[in-house]
Structure 1
Amino acid sequence: MMKRMRELPSHDRPREKLAERGPEALTNQELIALLIGRGTKGRDVSQVAGDVVRYLDGNGGAPSYDGLLGIEGVGSAKACEIMACFEIGRRYRGEDLSGHRITRPEDVLPLVAEWRDRKQEYFFCITLNGAGEVIERRTVTVGILNQSLVHPREVFAEAITDRAASVILVHNHPSGTLDPSSQDIGITRQLVEAGSILGIRVLDHIIVTKKGYASLKELGHL
């Protein structure tokens, strides 16, 4: 049975342990416990931290605000603290997507992992060089997907700047369904035609949800 934080000897508590031995000595659960500070009525901080770690492990280490709120004992303030911690770490670490080679739809999933369970639709454009390596991933729109919002100008402007040879389009479905809508298919065909004129191939348009993905190329829509 897991000991509650107050039952641990002082030298085994996360704060004291970090001060004496450095952050490398702490487990993931201890780091999360240190970050969120305290539990809730009936739930010790160690229990809450354990649930957060299991959520992160099951989500590829990419937390979302809504996903964190689904954990008992994590409210808005704690969810914001965890999200802020991950974001500041990403910024100082420097997220380097360049060189990540895309050869199949599954290779795209790590690039959009934290958006797969969002409640709004995010539309991304991933630019690639001639070797199929990622140059950059950019958010084009946030909100309801339609042809007026996802204009070729918005999609290809940065691709031209990147001197991209090709692009892969990605968006999430908050509904959880992987079936492409008529709007999805219409947008894809419009962008394929625009890319052809510019000499930038649209290799695929991938729909993602928390449970999986659907490739419009594999479905025969490209």
Structure 2
Amino acid sequence: MQAERLNDAGFRPPDAASGLFGALPEASSAAEESGNKAAPHHGTGHRARLRQRLAEGGPEALLDHELVEYLLALAIPRRDTKPLAKALIAHFGGINGVLTADWDALCNYPGMGETSTAALKMAQAAALRLLRAPIAQQPILSSWQALLDYLRADMAHLKVERVRVLHLNARNILIRDEHMADGSVDQAAIYTREVIRRAIDLGSTSLILVHNHPSGSPQPSKQDIAVTRNILEAGKRLGISVLDHIIIGTEGHSSMRAMGLF
């Protein structure tokens, strides 16, 4: 995470109200089927068997590529989607990588398009809302594991560094989960002034800082520690506490408070 610059007047973080994915475009699946009409598809029999296995055995009854295959089939029903599902999983490094991949990266993959990308992103959106539900209406500190599960699902497989701030009230209830900025593969800027200003606007009593490391390692860098301490000191002067700074990676997570870095 990149330390704040002395002059940050031009910084404008993304509007969190726009949502995690933004508006899903409407598109016909016909364009995504172009060039594939000669390819045989499994037909209703194969998909009916997948449905039956899911109904009888639950989520664990289907393999990862079968879940992706069926989601794609909903968007492009007249095409055999198994090869595409397997190719996506191989390219993005597993089903987690597929569902959390950038919209454009998915949409521009051969054989994909807006409709099929929307189908995968709808599944991710539903999963994230399911994971977020336990932390929405109860104190964060009493649902810490649920919070970590949600953050890992959302951020562990991102290809760029993302910064977010969790704003809490006096009862440690989540007020706002705010996406502050995206950066490059190894850094994203976070500005003390913007974080504190937003906390004042929302009436936040405390904050939890979160960012991911696309490298996979959740170990904090010297810049991560320096930025955290700047925000910690600025918040103290205004009665806003920083409860933790969590770093997410594919190899796990780290808590700066648990590491004694506060």
Range into which the TM-score falls when normalised by the shorter chain: 0.5 to 0.7
Q: Secondary structure at the match of 1:8?
A: helix
1:198 paired residue among 238, 250, 256: 238
Please show how residues 114-193 of structure 1 align to structure 2 within 5 Å. 114-144=154-184, 145=187, 149-193=189-233
Q: 1:9 to 1:209 in 2, by over 3 A?
A: closer
AA paired with 1:143? G
Looking at structure 2, the residues matched to 143 and 204 of structure 1 have their Cα atoms a distance apart, in angstroms, of 21
- Which stretches in structure 1 are left out of the alignment for 5+ residues? 18-23
Q: 1:130 to 1:109 in 2, by over 3 A?
A: same
- Which stretches in structure 2 are left out of the alignment for 5+ residues? 1-40, 60-66
Q: 1:187 to 1:44 in 2, by over 3 A?
A: closer
Deviation, 1:129, is 1.1
Looking at structure 2, the residues matched to 75 and 198 of structure 1 have their Cα atoms a distance apart, in angstroms, of 53
AA paired with 1:5? H
Looking at structure 1, the residues matched to 125 and 203 of structure 2 have their Cα atoms a distance apart, in angstroms, of 30
Which residue does the alignment assign to 1:21? none
Q: 1:173 to 1:7 in 2, by over 3 A?
A: same
Question: Which structure carries more relative contact order (alpha carbon 8 Å, separation 6+)?
Answer: 2
AA paired with 2:43? R
Which residue does the alignment assign to 2:250? 210
Query: Within the alignment, does 1:6 sit opposite 2:6 as a pair?
Result: no
Residues 217, 252 of structure 2: 8 Å contact kept: no
2:75 paired residue among 27, 35, 48: 35
Q: Secondary structure at the match of 2:247?
A: strand
Looking at structure 2, the residues matched to 197 and 211 of structure 1 have their Cα atoms a distance apart, in angstroms, of 35
Q: After superposition, what is the alpha-carbon deviation per residue over 1:70-106, rounded to whole angstroms, capped at 9, x for unaligned?
A: 9xx985437623344347869xx9x876424211753
Q: Secondary structure at the match of 2:99?
A: coil
Residues 99, 124 of structure 2: 8 Å contact kept: no
The percentage of aligned residue pairs carrying the same residue is 30
Residues 100, 124 of structure 2: 8 Å contact kept: no
| Cα RMSD after superposing both structures | 4.1
Deviation, 1:7, is 6.5
Q: 1:179 to 1:13 in 2, by over 3 A?
A: closer
Q: 1:141 to 1:8 in 2, by over 3 A?
A: same
1:101 paired residue among 135, 139, 146: 139
Q: After superposition, what is the alpha-carbon deviation per residue over 1:148-187, rounded to whole angstroms, capped at 9, x for unaligned?
A: x311121122221221110000000000012110011001
Looking at structure 2, the residues matched to 79 and 175 of structure 1 have their Cα atoms a distance apart, in angstroms, of 28
Which residue does the alignment assign to 2:38? none
AA paired with 2:218? L
Q: Secondary structure at the match of 2:140?
A: coil
Q: 1:79 to 1:115 in 2, by over 3 A?
A: farther
